[in-house]
Amino acid sequence: MVNSEIAIKEIAKVTGFDSVHYFTRVFTNKIGVPPAMFRKSQFSDNLIPERFS
């Protein structure tokens, strides 16, 4: 997701989620930030903390 411009709804679909809203909820619970914020944050500069690797 960090190095991709694929829409979040498409990522949700190809990862098996029927709903982008549910994907967002699960992603946020696991990672701590919503997918869009994850993309825009310092993580998008390839500074991904070890816990995400």
pLDDT of residue 40: 81
3-state class (DSSP) for residue 30? helix
pLDDT of residue 51: 55
Q: Which residues contact 12 (CB under 8 A, 6 or more apart)?
A: 19, 20, 22, 23, 24
The tokens of 14 are what?
A: 């190809």
Q: Which residue matches tokens 């098996």?
A: 16
pTM attached to this predicted model: 0.72
Residue 34 neighbours by CB distance under 10 Å: 14
pLDDT (tens digit, 9 = 90+) per residue, 1-53? 777 789 999 999 999 999 999 999 999 999 888 999 888 876 555 555 555 54
